[in-house]
Amino acid sequence: MNRLLKYYEEHPFRTILMAGLFFRLIAAFFSKGYGWSDDQFLTIEVAKSWIEGTDYYHWLPSADGTAQPQGFSFFYPGLHYLLFGIFKFSGITTPQVEMTIVRLIHALWSMLTIWFGYKITLKLSNTKTANLAGWLLAIFWIYPFLSVRNLVEFVSIPFLMWGLWLILKNEDKPKVSMAFWAGFLFGLAFDTRYQTALVSGTIGMVMLYQQRWKEVIWITLGGILSVLLIQGVVDYFVWGKPFTQIYGYVSYNATHAGEYTIGPWYLFIIFLMGIIIPPVSIFIFAGFFKSWKRIPILFFPVLVFILFHSYYPNKQERFIVTIMPLLMIIGIIGWQNITKDINNTKWIKHSWLFFWVINVILMIGVTFTYSKKARVESMVYLSNYINQFNSFVIDDVSKNVLGFPPQFYLGKHLDYYAILQNNGGYETFYKKSSSLNNPGFILFYHKENIESRVNSIKKIYPQIVFEKKIEPGNVDKILYWLNPINDNQDIYIYRNKAVISDE
């Protein structure tokens, strides 16, 4: 322990980086599955279906001309399309192996957030503050888990941090090249997640107020070039006109925002206060507001981002994670300024001790989490029979919204029918069953009324037999217990012997 402490005293930044990398590598190998629907079905599933030679999720123009732009950038899924193409060429075809490599790449990519976050804090403050901010960015309890997810809200952060660092580094002796590349990086952040324009745009407005006109012009040019090359050229190649996906995204969200998670305007503030762990979260917010005059280039982008998402009706927690590293940096800098002229009282020390104890406990639990385990493992199980059936059925009649099956782990995207309340339940299924392919499996989500539901399906497929029960992971169970909206359920797999015999 003494050697470790001595090494940290001599090499604090290196130690922080190694700690961050260590836990991200653990997450890469042990935190399987996916966190939300978007990080699986807007990236992995789309890219893999293209590799299969299909457009299962209808992102591309159709032969009959009925397909419309889905409104999502091709940039991030396109990178995975190239990566999966390399896997296919190299003979790597096992889904779990492919995803382990994907998680490792994301773990390394997220290290840039720690690197540039530390540099930014050191530039704006001192070594002590930079060390504290570095530790937060490295081992804050949710970060290793988020770092290996295919979540555009988190993947876009290194682009923002890198660009901001170039601007701050360029502050004393402005260089055109630095400003241009900062803008190009901001453009890549936008190409990954459109809402990051709130951050980069506000940074530009602050710089205009500071009369840094020349830099803003070159930042703008760099951003325009990045967006033009990726959003403009790619959309033109696919759809025949540029920026089609952006237009589709704006149009969709302008009319469908109210159809998703709705909450009060203060929802994200409560979320941030809770997830950062009080009372340290109170310290960070106090430091944030303390710094508005001293560090406007960080304060106003964070403020605008929070205000916009507080106003916007669709309030999903993942939306706000993009701004959390910058909030932590400016909050820690401000809090250190608040406490520099007072003695560190016992309650402040105890508050930080409480924070780190709870943080480590949560981090260990979450970093080993196999998220959406039941849904993933059910597809893995079905993959053992992939050449023996061409369709399956999901019975989730107790729900109005289906937990989509992640068919990436099945190895092929097949047709499936979902029995839901909002599409007519069993009555509609009975009417359509004669026109459906004879399914190889029936997957029953949830254990409620399982016997009567199985008997209902047996009226059509009398030869179905129980095959396997797949249970959610422990954290999935806890999340479902805390809030049933986290629909992580038991899945009962029944095999149709008329399609797949016992032999």
Across 108-122, 346-360, 467-481, least confident range: 467-481
Rounded to an integer, the average pLDDT of 353-367 is: 96
β-strand 464-470 against 491-496: which pairing, if any?
antiparallel
- Sequence-distant (≥ 6) Cβ neighbours of residue 116 within 8 angstroms: 158, 161, 162, 164, 165
- Angle at which helices 12-30 and 346-367 pack, to 10 degrees? 40
Q: What are phi and psi of 389, to 5 degrees?
A: -150, 160
3-state per-residue secondary structure call for 244-267? HHHHHHHHHHHHHHHHCCECCCCH
| pLDDT per residue as tens digits for the range 53-96 | 999 998 999 877 778 888 899 999 999 999 999 999 999 999 99
pLDDT score recorded for residue 341: 72
Strand partners, 443: 394, 493
Instruction: Give the integer Cα–Cα distance in Å for 460 and 433.
Output: 8
What stretches of 341-470 show up as alpha helix (H) in DSSP? 346-367, 373-382, 425-432, 450-458
- The string of DSSP codes covering 81-118 is HHHHHHHHHHT---HHHHHHHHHHHHHHHHHHHHHHHH
pLDDT score recorded for residue 174: 81
Instruction: Give the integer Cα–Cα distance in Å for 183 and 224.
Output: 8
Average pLDDT, the chain: 92
| pLDDT per residue as tens digits for the range 447-498 | 888 999 999 999 999 999 999 999 988 777 776 665 566 667 899 999 999 9
Question: Token digits for 19?
Answer: 């700690």
Are 298 and 203 in contact by the 8 Å Cβ rule? The answer is no
* Total Cβ atoms within 10 A of residue 108: 14
pLDDT score recorded for residue 486: 62
Secondary structure of the chain: what % helix, strand, coil (to 5)?
Answer: 65, 5, 30
β-strand 391-395 against 464-470: which pairing, if any?
unpaired
Q: Assess whether pLDDT exceeds 80 at residue 256.
A: no
Question: Token digits for 66?
Answer: 């009925």
As a whole-number percent, the residues of the chain with pLDDT over 90 amount to 75
Instruction: Give the integer Cα–Cα distance in Å for 405 and 254.
Output: 28
Rounded to an integer, the average pLDDT of 379-396 is: 95
Question: Token digits for 483?
Answer: 């809030």
Instruction: Give the integer Cα–Cα distance in Å for 4 and 97.
Output: 34
| pLDDT per residue as tens digits for the range 181-236 | 999 999 999 999 999 999 999 999 999 999 999 999 999 999 999 999 999 999 99
Instruction: Give the integer Cα–Cα distance in Å for 336 and 341.
Output: 9
Rounded to an integer, the average pLDDT of 319-338 is: 96
| pLDDT per residue as tens digits for the range 140-195 | 999 999 999 999 999 999 999 999 999 999 888 888 999 999 999 999 999 999 99
Instruction: Give the integer Cα–Cα distance in Å for 203 and 187.
Output: 13
H or E stretch at 441 = strand 441-445
pLDDT score recorded for residue 259: 65
pLDDT score recorded for residue 298: 97
Q: Rounded to whole angstroms, what are the CA distances from 366 to 217, 233, 359, 473, 476?
A: 43, 40, 10, 11, 10
Any idea how long the chain is? 503
pLDDT score recorded for residue 192: 97
pLDDT score recorded for residue 344: 67
Q: Assess whether pLDDT exceeds 90 at residue 398.
A: no
pLDDT score recorded for residue 482: 56
Rounded to an integer, the average pLDDT of 381-395 is: 95
- Sequence-distant (≥ 6) Cβ neighbours of residue 422 within 8 angstroms: 400, 401
> Band of the pLDDT at 502, cuts 50, 70, 90?
confident
Across 379-393, 410-424, 472-486, least confident range: 472-486
Q: What are phi and psi of 203, to 5 degrees?
A: -60, -45
- Strands in 441-445's sheet, in edge-to-edge order, are 415-419, 391-395, 441-445, 491-496, 464-470
Q: Assess whether pLDDT exceeds 60 at residue 16.
A: yes
pLDDT score recorded for residue 480: 67
> Band of the pLDDT at 108, cuts 50, 70, 90?
very high
Instruction: Give the integer Cα–Cα distance in Å for 345 and 419.
Output: 60
Instruction: Give the integer Cα–Cα distance in Å for 446 and 375.
Output: 12
Are 153 and 268 in contact by the 8 Å Cβ rule? The answer is no
As a whole-number percent, the residues of the chain with pLDDT over 70 amount to 96
pLDDT score recorded for residue 403: 77
Instruction: Give the integer Cα–Cα distance in Å for 12 and 368.
Output: 26
pLDDT score recorded for residue 477: 74
3-state secondary structure of 176: helix
Instruction: Give the integer Cα–Cα distance in Å for 101 and 69.
Output: 30
